[in-house]
Structure 1
Amino acid sequence: MTETAPTLPELIDMQIRTTGPMSVATYMGLCLTHPSKGYYKNADPLGAKGDFVTAPEISQMFGELVGFFFVNLWQQMGQPKEFTLLELGPGRGTLMADMLRVACRAEGFRDALDLRLFETNPTLIAEQNARLAAYDPKWIDAFDKVGDGPLLVVANEFFDALPIRQFVRAADGWHERVVGLTEGKRAFGMSPTPFPADAMPAALANAVPDSILEVALAGAEVVNRLADTISTQGGAILAIDYGYERTQTGETLQGVRRHAYADVLEAPGDTDLSAHVDFEALGNVARIQGLNVQPLLGQGEFLNRLGISDRAATLSAANPGSSADIAAAKARLTAPDQMGTLFKVFCAASPGLYPPAFTE
C-alpha cells in the first residue's frame, strides 16, 4: 500500500515538533515557496478564480503608462543598443505585454531589448510565454543573471509577498515572534531571548509594549543585489505595492483566500500571505549603493501625472460602448478610496536620470 505524501501543513507541524518554533519569515517562506507545495508553486492566484486581482488585470492603461515610463528612461540613457528589462513576479505576463505594446513603438527599443522574467510558478510561466514569446523572454531564478548593459526593473505587487520577520516589544526589549504549536494547533509565540536594543531602529526606542515591528530582510536583499548591478551598469528600479513611507510599528501580515481575508496560520500553502512594504528601508539600501531615491508617490498620483486621463479619453473615443467600464477602471486604479493611495510607487535610479512622474 502506497503511503500518502504529507501535506504542507503536516510538514510544517512536523518541523516545529522536531526543531522547535520557527520564525515568521521561515513560515512565510514555506507557505509561499515550498518547492512542491508552496502557494506560488501550484496555483494561479490571479483573477476571479484566484485570490486577488492586480492593477494590470484591471486595465491596459496601467501597463501602457508604465511602458511609457521605461521608454522615457531608455531615451534619457541615450537609447543604449543593449539593455535588460527585468520584471519581478510577472503574473500572467499582462503588465509586460501592455508595457511592450507601447514601448516597442519607440524606434530601436525592441532591437535593444533583453527581456528577463523572475518567476517560479510553472502555470504562470506558461501564460507569460503565451503572451510574451514574440519578445524572446528568458526566465531567471537569481538576480545576477542579467546582461552587461543598463538594467531596468519593474515589480508590481512583488515585495509584499517576500517573507518578513516580526518582533514584539516586551518589558525587557524586542523579542522575535515565532510560529509554534499549542495543544496541537499552530499559534504565535515569542522567542525567550530579547534582541540587543542597538539592533533595532533608533526611531522605535520608545515604542509602547506589545508593539510589533516587521522587518523585510528578503526585500532589502533583493534591492541590494539589483541596486549593486545598476550602480555600475546604469538603470532604475520601479516598484508598485502597498506599504508605508516611513519605518513604523504595526502588524500588517495578512492572509487572503478566495478574495476574502483568512487566518494566516490556518491553511498553509492554500492562502496568499503578504505584508505592507517598508519603502524607507528599501530606499536606504538603494542609497547605500549610490542610487537616487525619488519621493514616494501614491499610485493614483503616479498614473495621473503620466496622463491616465488622456489615455482613458482616447480609449473611450475609440470604444464608446466601453466608456463606462474604462471610467470605472480608471477610478479603481487612481481614486483615493480604492487603489490610488493604498498603493505606493517607489523609484530608485542612477544619478543623472529624471524618472517621469517623479520630476514634474
Structure 2
Amino acid sequence: MTQPLAHILAETIRVRGPISVAEYMAAALGHPEHGYYTGHDPFGLGGDFTTAPEISQMFGELIGLWCLLAWQAMGSPARLVLAEIGPGRGTLMADLLRTAQVRPAFAAALEVVLVETSPALRNRQVQTLAGHKVTWVERVEDLPPGPLLVIANELFDALPIRQFERKDGVWRERRVGLDPDGGFVFVAGAESNAPELPAEAAEGAIAEIGEAGLALATWLGRRLCADIGAALIIDYGHESGGIGDTLQAVRRHRYHPVLADPGRVDLTAHVDFARLAAAARQAGARIDGPVSQGLFLSRMGIEERATMLMREATPEQAAALAAGARRLIDPSEMGTLFRVLALASPTLPKLTALNVPQGSSPP
C-alpha cells in the first residue's frame, strides 16, 4: 500500500478498528494533504467527470436569471450576498455574473462569496473570475449577514454518508476494515437503532443517511429564517428515501472500485431530497420543488436561449449549443436524474420554475 492516504487510513484502522463509511469518505475527499479535492482539479474531459456548467454556458446563465428573479421577489435589496458552495472551477459563477449585467442594479447589489476548502480549486476560481470582486470563506458559517442567495450545484452528493446493512433482522452500521492482505473491505459494525432507518427490510439491504447534508440543510433553513433569501440545490438523487447502496467511485469518466485508491477517485452518493427538504422545513424554511433539472431549465427558457445563441453561431458552435442543451434536459441524459430544490425564507413569494401543481408529483 504505497499511496499516502491509503497508508494513513490503514494505520488508523489497525489502531482504532474499522471506521465508518462517513469517516472514510470524508478523508478520501477532504484530507488536508491527500484528499481528492485538496490538490487537483478533477473537472472536464481531462479530469474525472464533467458538471453541468462545463457542458454549456446556458446552465450558469439560467441560474443567473433565477437569481435575478429571486432578488426581485426579495424586494430588490441594495445589497445581496450571493454565495456558491463548492464552486468547482468558478465556471457557473462566471456565467451567472455575465447574465447579471443585464440588470445593472442587480449586478451592483451582489457581494459574491465562494465557500471553498480546496487550495487547488480556489486558485482555478481566481483565474476564472479575474476582474470580479470575490471573497472566499471555508465554512458556510462565515458567510456575511444580510439578504442571501446560495447556489449548491453537485455539492450534496459529495458530502459523507453513513451506511447501514440489514443482518440477522437488525441494522448494523457498515464500516471499512482491512482484509488479511491489508486491503480495504466493508465489514458489519455494531447494531444501530437510528430512528431514520426503516423498521423492516430484506436481509442484506443497505440504507444510507447523509448526516452532513442534513446538517447543512438545517443550517440553511435557520439562516433563511434570520435573513430573507433562498438556496438553490441542484444534484442527482431520489425523490424520497429508500433502500439501496448508491455509493460510487469515478475516475477518468469511468466507474471505479469504491474502496480502491482513496484520495485519487471521486466518491459520491445519491442525494435524498425528501430528507433534505424535511430538515430545512423543520428549521423554518419554505420548500419549492424539487422538480427535474430538465423541467427547471425548460421553464427558465433554455430552448429559447439556445435559439438566440445559435443565430450568431458558426455551424460547429450551433451544433455544440444544441448538444449541450440536449444533454442538460433530455430524460435519457441529465434531465431527470438531476433534480432542483429551493429552500426559501417563509415570507418570500413562490419562486419561478419550481412550482409544482397541487396534488401532483414533481416530474
| 1:130 Cα deviation after fit | 1.7
Tell me which amino acid in the other structure corresponds to 1:338: E
8 Å CA contact retained: 2:288, 2:350? no
Tell me which amino acid in the other structure corresponds to 2:34: K
Residue matched to 1:358:
354
Secondary structure at 2:141's aligned position in 1? coil
| 1:226 Cα deviation after fit | 2.0
Secondary structure at 2:104's aligned position in 1? coil
In the alignment, structure 1 residue 312 sits paired with structure 2 residue 306: yes
8 Å CA contact retained: 1:172, 1:194? no
Tell me which amino acid in the other structure corresponds to 1:228: R
CA distance in 2, matches of 1:40, 1:239: 20
Q: Which moved more, 1:26-35 or 1:171-180?
A: 171-180
Residue matched to 1:111:
108
CA distance in 1, matches of 2:107, 2:329: 30
Q: Which moved more, 1:130-139 or 1:170-179?
A: 130-139
In the alignment, structure 1 residue 345 sits paired with structure 2 residue 343: no
8 Å CA contact retained: 1:88, 1:154? yes
| 1:147 Cα deviation after fit | 2.1
Residue matched to 1:190:
188
5+ residue gaps, structure 2: 357-363
Residue matched to 2:323:
328
Residue matched to 1:220:
214
Residue matched to 1:170:
167
Tell me which amino acid in the other structure corresponds to 2:187: G
CA distance in 2, matches of 1:7, 1:154: 33
Secondary structure at 1:135's aligned position in 2? coil
Superposition pairs of residues 282-293 of structure 1, within 5 angstroms: 282-293=276-287
| 1:318 Cα deviation after fit | 1.2
State how many pairs are aligned. Answer: 352
Residue matched to 2:57:
60
Secondary structure at 1:247's aligned position in 2? coil
Q: Which moved more, 1:207-216 or 1:316-325?
A: 316-325
Tell me which amino acid in the other structure corresponds to 1:38: G
Q: 56, 73, 76: which one pairs with 2:73?
A: 76
Residue matched to 1:303:
297
CA distance in 2, matches of 1:240, 1:214: 20
| 1:310 Cα deviation after fit | 0.2
8 Å CA contact retained: 1:83, 1:147? no
Residue matched to 2:248:
254
CA distance in 2, matches of 1:115, 1:260: 34
Q: Percent identity?
A: 45
Secondary structure at 1:108's aligned position in 2? helix
CA distance in 1, matches of 2:12, 2:320: 49
Q: 29, 35, 43: which one pairs with 1:32?
A: 29
Residue matched to 2:361:
none
Residue matched to 1:41:
38
1:196-242: CA deviation from partner (whole Å, max 9, x where unpaired): 2xx3337x222211111110000111111122111110111111110
| 1:133 Cα deviation after fit | 3.5
> Normalization by structure 1: what TM-score?
0.95
Secondary structure at 2:84's aligned position in 1? strand
Secondary structure at 1:114's aligned position in 2? strand
Secondary structure at 2:352's aligned position in 1? coil
Q: Which moved more, 1:98-107 or 1:88-97?
A: 98-107
CA RMSD of aligned residues (A): 1.4
| 1:6 Cα deviation after fit | 7.0
CA distance in 2, matches of 1:31, 1:153: 26
CA distance in 2, matches of 1:206, 1:195: 13
Residue matched to 1:19:
16
Label 1:6 to 1:324 Cα distance change in 2 as closer, same or farther (>3 A).
closer
8 Å CA contact retained: 2:114, 2:134? yes
| 1:359 Cα deviation after fit | 2.9
CA distance in 1, matches of 2:71, 2:228: 10
Secondary structure at 1:345's aligned position in 2? strand
8 Å CA contact retained: 2:222, 2:285? no
CA distance in 1, matches of 2:143, 2:265: 32
Q: 224, 228, 235: which one pairs with 1:230?
A: 224
